[in-house]
Amino acid sequence: MTKPKTDTSFTTDVAELYESTLVPLIFRPYARDLAERVRDLAPSSVLEIACGTGVVTRALAEALSEECDIVATDLNEAMVAHGREVGTTRTVMWRQADVMALPYAEAIFDVVVCQFSVMFFPDRVAAYREVRRVLRPGGSFLFNVWNSIEQNEFADVVTKAVSALYPQDPPQFLARTPYGHGSPTEIESDVRNAGFETCTLIQRDEVSVAAAPRLPAVAYCQGTPLRNEILAREPDGLERATGVAEKALASRFGVGRIEGRISGAVAVAS
């Protein structure tokens, strides 16, 4: 499926909301888990691709020894800039870079890491070949993917609520891209076609907690490229769509503190 360019458009406004809302809502538990898995491999050099605003980068900085070099990259300069501004507990090299043409020599990293971003790649097999190119022999590629949107409750409720506002052209960013690549068969096929010999998938569910329904409504409607789809349909409709999503979340989960299931998988390729 060809994805609109807006699916990968993470502007400064999106980056700020992404960090303040989505990171604590859904990304932080998986970031810690991924960093611990990398630590267990005892690498001397790690490349993170599609680092976003740096939630995994910060977890890696805390988990890995000072002797391990960490390079964090993202396609969007706004995300890299925000991650650099937030900072880490130790030195990290930040750089804007496209996974489709990594600006690094062959066989220089022990581990490549990517959290919840491979679904954005325009050609996953080609991207994975680039990852394999920069990995040393015996190196590992670790990445996360979300399972289907139906298994990620807040995102599912928001998508249905916002889609009902625009029935003639429902915004499907969340279902199409972040939650559209959870097939184990497809994942393993892509990895092997890129030249990796093994691919192991570990399923992992977590609980997403929000102080109120407003938080996930803002997170998904304003802190992701769903924002671009809403504005394309209704230039002044961002707050209206966010309010509709908030009401739907409150109806499903209640007012005040709410909890919802989030579900993903960790892939380990070598």
Model confidence pLDDT, tens digit, residues 32-59: 999 999 999 999 999 999 999 999 999 9
Q: How would residue 11 be classed by pLDDT, with cut points 50, 70 and 90?
A: low
Q: How would residue 10 be classed by pLDDT, with cut points 50, 70 and 90?
A: low
Contact 210, 257 (CB under 8 A): yes
Mean pLDDT over 259-269 rounds to 97
Residues 203-222: tens digit of each pLDDT = 999 999 999 999 999 999 99
How far apart (Å, rounded) are the C-alpha atoms in residues 229 and 237? 10
pLDDT given at position 182: 85
- Kindly report the pTM of this predicted structure: 0.91
Residues 144-202: tens digit of each pLDDT = 999 999 999 999 999 999 999 999 999 999 999 999 998 999 999 999 999 999 999 99
How far apart (Å, rounded) are the C-alpha atoms in residues 27 and 23? 5
Contact 79, 52 (CB under 8 A): yes
How far apart (Å, rounded) are the C-alpha atoms in residues 94 and 146? 25
Instruction: Just give the CATH number of 5-269.
Output: 3.40.50.150
pLDDT given at position 1: 46
Residues 59-104: tens digit of each pLDDT = 999 999 999 999 999 999 988 998 999 999 999 999 999 999 999 9
